[in-house]
Amino acid sequence: MIVLQYVPYTYIGTEAIHSLTTGVMQASPTHTLAFKVPGLTGGAITADPACVEHILKANFANYPKGELQVSMLDDFLGHGIFNSDGEQWLWQRKAASYEFNKRSLRNFVVDAVRFEVVERLLPLLDRAGRDGRTLDVQDVLERFAFDNICRVAFGEDPACLAEEGMAAPQSAEFMAAFNDAQNAVMARFMSPAKWLWRVKRLLGMEPERRMRSALATIHGYADKIVRERKERGEAAGLVSREDFLSRFAAAGEHNDESLRDVVTNFILAGRDTTSSALTWFFWLVSTRPDVEDKILREVRAVRASGGGAASTPSLDELREMHYLHAAITESMRLYPPVPADTHSCKEDDFLPDGTFVGKGWLMTYCAFAMARLEGVWGKDCEEFRPERWLDEEGAFRAESPFKYAVFHAGPRMCLGKEMAYIQMKSIAACVLERFSLRYAGGEGHPRLIMSLTLRMGGGLPMQVKSRTEVAS
């Protein structure tokens, strides 16, 4: 165990946090560190798969979200599935799991993705290519994901990716408010004094002042959707709809506030994670023409064998794209949408490597750092190499979820994992089949910025060219 003096991340600068944590994890013989400073909450950070398994599975009951984390997210996420523990979390998990396992929801997600790809994303890329414009692909993917998750979560289309002027003003406000709320929440977590945000809120200081305005917009928008759905739907109407809100509302077991929490929690989960993953994927692929060529050849071969008549790949075709699956998985290994996750320690404990974790301490595992440990992933751990996920026959081969904790693991394993892959593979296949994307941000590595998910500072500027133009 390494015990360090507490270093307030607030003063380091958010760009340095991931490299700092990774460096410490690499230097530690156990890939774990612990710290305790008088007057401040103690904590431990690990990138050891065995410790991750202990936290997320073997001793799961001892590592809940905890009162501190729940309280910091309460005004934003309420008591939704991502911000609750115990029985409150368990019944939501069971209800959500039941819905996620239905074929009808999976088909609904496929249809929603197909619409957004064919009607909005591909035409937008085509216009950018013809006009010679540099496009911020991160912004495009975030708007795509927001439209898509709103359709899936509550059956509404904010049209944020539609042509300029087509989106409703309140939809743009809702999306902007979501960004402001996430930034404010991140500031709360980054502060060395976990009570400071309450003082700022009381005094109307930034970013809490902006948070108050953002929450008014978010809650107002979500409440309106819930109210209208219940007014016009009622029993039979709700059952006939496929979106997540209608499925929960049809059960008749939730009040309006609980349904609002369902909306905000699933928007948070579905919007920023997939857009973050695809942003880093398209950047990495643009730096590796050999990987891009392999993806393109696989997509074309699979599409040709299936007739290739449909505008987007079918579910069966997506399942056959093993190299694409490996490339997306490898991209998320290096740039996990959620680079670290924190739990609270309920009672004194010892991790498998011998590290002591005290009652009330914050226990964090860092997937970003784990990806860069030679002892876990080999000497080529920092290389983008999709082949590490393929067997001798070229079929995708999964790793332990505790070694690859991108989708969490254990009882809180991400329910939307399959749907996330459907969305990401469909977008990647459709885009790369038709367009070549080249990074236009100059030399060097894109800047990392801290949010609740891993984002690029300054966006992802890319030049778009159609494949027909590239071929000629």
* Alpha carbons 268 and 145: distance in angstroms, whole number: 10
Cβ 381 vs Cβ 31: under 8 Å: no
Residue 309: per-residue pLDDT: 66
Q: Is the pTM of this model over 0.85?
A: yes
* Alpha carbons 186 and 7: distance in angstroms, whole number: 17
β-pair partners for 225: none
Cβ 263 vs Cβ 225: under 8 Å: yes
| pLDDT tens, N- to C-terminus, the chain (472 residues) | 333 333 434 334 455 788 889 999 999 999 999 988 777 788 999 999 999 999 999 999 999 999 988 999 999 999 888 889 999 889 888 888 887 888 888 888 889 999 999 999 999 999 999 999 999 999 999 999 999 988 888 788 888 888 754 556 677 888 889 889 988 998 888 887 778 999 999 999 999 999 999 999 999 988 888 887 777 655 444 445 677 777 777 766 678 888 888 888 888 888 889 999 999 999 999 999 999 999 999 999 999 987 766 788 999 999 999 999 999 999 999 999 999 999 999 999 999 999 999 999 999 999 999 999 999 999 999 999 999 999 999 999 999 999 999 999 999 999 999 989 999 999 999 999 999 999 998 888 899 887 778 999 999 999 999 988 655 4
Residue 108: per-residue pLDDT: 85
Residue 1: per-residue pLDDT: 34
Residue 14: per-residue pLDDT: 53
* Alpha carbons 220 and 158: distance in angstroms, whole number: 15
3-state secondary structure 325-372: HHHHHHHHHHCCCCCEEEEECCCCEECCCCCEECCCCEEEEEHHHHCC
Torsional sign, CA 362, 363, 368, 374: positive
Residue 368: per-residue pLDDT: 96
Structure tokens belonging to residue 84: 């609750």
Residue 99: per-residue pLDDT: 79
CA distances from 219 to 75, 117, 145, 233, 258 (A): 10, 29, 20, 20, 12
Structure tokens belonging to residue 102: 């239905």
Q: Confirm or deny that 414 is annotated as ligand binding.
A: yes
Cβ 46 vs Cβ 355: under 8 Å: yes
In angstroms, the first-to-last Cα distance of the chain is: 59
Which residues contact residue 157 at a Cβ distance below 8 angstroms, ignoring those fewer than 6 apart?
Answer: 147, 150, 151
Q: Which domains occur in the chain, in start order?
A: 2-471 (1.10.630.10)
Q: Which residue from 409, 353, 339, 367 is spatially nearest to 63, judged by alpha carbons?
A: 409
Cβ 245 vs Cβ 391: under 8 Å: no
